[in-house]
Structures are given as C-alpha cells and as structure tokens.
C-alpha cells in the first residue's frame, strides 16, 4: 500500500497512477484540490474496486502528519510506501523574505516530510517498506530568487541520506530530483525563459510528470538502493 502526498494533480497524480497501475493500493493525500482528488479516486476505483482512498490534510497543522500516517495505514491494513511529494514553490528574494514564507516553504518541503516519515516508520519497518522524497535539482544548485525553497529542498536531500542511515536495514529511503517538468499553470515562466531552459537541457525538451513517476516506481522496486537521489532533468543539472 502506498501513501502519496499532494497526489491529486500534476506530478503527484502521475505517481499515484503509476503505482496503482503496478498493482498497489493507494492513499491519495490532498490539501485543497478536492475535485481533482475525488475524480482521480473514482477513476482508480473504477479500474480496480476499493483500491484507492483520498484523505484531506493540511500537513502544516500540528499533529496532521502523524494523523495522516495512522489513517493511511489503517485504510488498507498496512503501509509499504511513502512518497513525500507535497510542496510549496514560489519566489523569496533576499531583503523581502518573511517569517510566514519560511514557515510555509520549510514546513511543506522539509518539516512535514520528516514528521510524516517518523510517524510512518513503524508501519514501514513491519512491511520492509520504502520512502521516496521528491526533492529538486536546485537542492544542489540553488535557484536564483527562490532562497527559502532552495534551502528547504537541500534539507530534504540531506534528510533522505540521514533517514536511509537511521531506518535501514528495514526501510529504504531515496529521492527523485526533478528538473523542469511541465510548465507552471500560472504562466509565470516567460517564453524567453522557457526557451533558455530547453536550450540548456541536453535532451532538448522539458520533462513530463510520467518521467518522475517512472523514477519513483523504479526506486520503490529496487531492493539494493538506499540513500540515493536520481536527477530526472534531461541532463539540465550539467549546466547549472
């Protein structure tokens, strides 16, 4: 059984579909995307009865991570896979950073994954399970004007290695670091920047959410891999 946070849309939904297609039962976590979560849940249950359940939670609220891990394990009687995908992402420029932005970006990208992993650990240990964190290529090479986000993802990358040490040998912990995967829906990436990104990507294109889902599936099923991060970026991290 797999728990995927932020699983209603985009990359999260692709991960949910991939793991479900491989035979897993899935608990789909969402915060505000009720319609998308309900639609995906119905789609997957139509394909295979009683194989998907949606759970709403704001992971920044006290105790929410612990409650979600417990509910996920209870829904299908076990917990084999935790995918920490839920994330906030926006500009924070030096000189304009506010405490609320720090709390939100560190909370969603680092604090919530840590406390969710901690709460899920007993269930994962019993199952010989797996954690996959969704980091970012900018964990290693910071993204200009995204100071707090870059710090948070760097912390998540370090957490991946630390938890691999702490939770082994029963639980494997790895990460996928996406590059440019589908353009933001708010059109904030201008055409010139889009062209620059593609031009500095050896494969000559941006990625698709399915590319991330495939890498997650690989890490879930790779029994001698732990503490590792796979960059899924078309080679772009070579240039930045």
Residue ranges in the chain assigned as alpha helix (H): 10-21, 34-47, 64-76, 99-106, 112-127, 147-167, 191-199, 209-220
CATH class of the domain comprising 2-238? alpha beta
- The whole-number pLDDT of residue 195 equals 85
Residues 6+ apart with CB under 8 A from 201: 179, 180, 233, 234, 235, 236, 239
CB neighbourhood size of 170 (10 A)? 12
State the pLDDT at residue 189: 62
Q: Give the DSSP letter of residue 48.
A: S
DSSP code per residue over 196-226: HHHHTSTTSS-B-HHHHHHHHHHHHT-TT--
Closest C-alpha to 37, from 57, 13, 1 = 13
* Rounded CA separation 84/175 (Å): 9
Residue-wise pLDDT tens digits, 101-114: 999 999 999 999 99
Contact 198, 205 (CB under 8 A): yes
Instruction: Tell me the domain boundaries of the chain.
Output: 2-238
Q: Quick check: pTM over 0.85? A: yes
Beta strands at 2-4 and 130-134: parallel, antiparallel or unpaired: unpaired
Instruction: Identify the helix (H) or strand (E) that includes residue 112.
Output: helix 112-127
CA 53 from centre of chain: 18
Residue 188 contacts by C-beta under 8 Å, 6 or more apart in sequence?
A: none
Q: How far apart are CA 44 and CA 20, in angstroms?
A: 8
Of 158, 134, 139, whose CA–CA distance to 82 is shortest? 134
pLDDT score at 16: 98
Ordered mean pLDDT values, 10 residues apiece, the chain (240 residues): 97 98 98 96 98 98 96 96 96 96 98 98 98 96 94 98 98 96 69 83 93 98 98 90
Q: How far is CA 170 from CA 84, 87, 187, in A?
A: 18, 27, 43
CA nearest to 132, candidates 218, 20, 235: 218
Active site residues: 149
CA distance linking residue 193 with residue 77, whole number of Å: 47
């Amino acid at each position: 059984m797999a728990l995927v946070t932020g699983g209603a849309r985009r990359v999260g939904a692709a991960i949910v579909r991939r793991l479900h297609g491989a035979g897993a039962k899935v608990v789909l976590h969402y915060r505000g995307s009720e319609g998308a979560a309900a639609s995906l849940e119905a789609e997957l249950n139509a394909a295979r009865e009683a194989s998907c359940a949606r759970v709403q939670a704001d992971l920044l609220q006290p105790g929410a991570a612990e409650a979600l891990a417990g509910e996920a394990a209870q829904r299908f009687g076990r917990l084999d896979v935790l995918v920490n995908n839920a994330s906030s992402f926006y500009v924070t420029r030096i000189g304009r950073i506010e405490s609320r932005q720090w709390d939100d970006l560190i909370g969603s990208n680092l604090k919530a994954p840590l406390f969710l992993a901690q709460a899920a650990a007993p269930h994962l240990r019993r199952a010989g399970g797996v954690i996959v964190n969704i980091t970012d290529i900018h964990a290693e090479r910071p993204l200009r004007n995204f100071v707090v986000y870059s710090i948070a993802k760097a912390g998540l990358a370090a957490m991946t290695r630390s938890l691999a040490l702490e939770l082994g040998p029963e639980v494997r912990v790895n990460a996928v670091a996406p590059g440019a995967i589908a353009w933001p829906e708010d059109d904030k990436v201008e055409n010139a920047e889009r062209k620059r990104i593609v031009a500095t990507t050896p494969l000559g294109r941006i990625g698709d959410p399915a590319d991330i889902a495939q890498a997650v599936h690989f890490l879930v099923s790779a029994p001698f891999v732990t503490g590792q991060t796979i960059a899924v970026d078309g080679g772009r991290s070579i240039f930045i």
